[in-house]
């Protein structure tokens, strides 16, 4: 090594010292800050994982409810169609239904009133007699 380093850089130990002050307690607070930051960094992924699992559970629940609702709707729809089909294609049932409902509808109404109504709506007397039999 040359003379200057021997004379200056090596012979003046204070040159090796850092000529700067620091805010009071800086290193202690920095260490705490770093350790806290990392703890949060460590916890955050755990929280994210938990949140993701809760969200996937919620999504699964929603899917199950939606699928259940869809199938329920389908089966209800099918039931209604079956009844309609039954009503449309079974004349006997319709006939029976007609009479049943007619009997129910005409409950408490006098026969004379019905005949008057039928004459009023243009039904012939022969037809009335025929249905009466």
Partner 1 sequence: MTNNEIIRLQQAGELEKAFNGIVETYTERLYWHVRRFLCSHEDTNDLLQDIFIKIWRSLSSFRGESQLYTWVYRIATNETLNHLRKQRRNSIIEMCSLSDIMAQRIDDDPYFNGNEMQRELHKAIQRLPEKQRLVFNMRYFDDLKYEDIAEITGTSVGALKASYHHACTKIKTDMENIFL
Q: How many Cα atoms within 13 Å fall on the side-chain side of residue 10? A: 7
Q: How far is the CB of 47 from partner 1 (least distance, A)?
A: 16
Min dist CB 51 to partner 1, Å, is 21
Residue 38 C-beta: closest distance to partner 1, Å: 5
- SS3 assignment, position 39: helix
Please provide the size of the chain in residues: 133
Sign of CA dihedral 45, 46, 49, 50: negative
Helix (H) or strand (E) holding 51: helix 26-89
Nearby residues of 82 by Cβ (< 8 Å), 6 or more positions away: none
* Between 29 and 106, CB nearer to partner 1: 29
- In the complex, which residues of this chain contact partner 1 (CB under 8 A)? 1-2, 4-5, 8-9, 12, 14-23, 27, 30-31, 33-35, 37-39, 41-42
- Which CB, 15 or 94, lies closer to partner 1? 15
Which of 8/65 has CB closer to partner 1?
A: 8
SS3 of 108, please?
A: coil
Q: Which is nearer to partner 1, 23 or 122 (CB)?
A: 23
- Least distance from C-beta 71 to partner 1, angstroms? 48
């Amino acid at each position: 090594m040359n003379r200057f380093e021997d004379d200056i850089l090596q012979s003046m130990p204070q040159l090796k010292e850092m000529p700067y002050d620091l805010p009071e307690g800086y290193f202690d607070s920095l260490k705490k800050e770093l350790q806290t930051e990392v703890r949060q960094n460590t916890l955050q992924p755990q929280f994210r994982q938990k949140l993701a699992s809760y969200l996937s559970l919620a999504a699964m629940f929603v899917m199950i409810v939606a699928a259940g609702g869809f199938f329920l709707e389908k089966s209800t729809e099918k039931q209604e169609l079956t009844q309609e089909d039954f009503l449309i294609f079974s004349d006997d049932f319709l006939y029976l239904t007609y009479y049943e409902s007619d009997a129910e509808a005409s409950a408490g109404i006098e026969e004379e009133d019905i005949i008057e109504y039928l004459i009023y709506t243009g039904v012939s007397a022969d037809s009335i007699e025929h249905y009466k039999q």
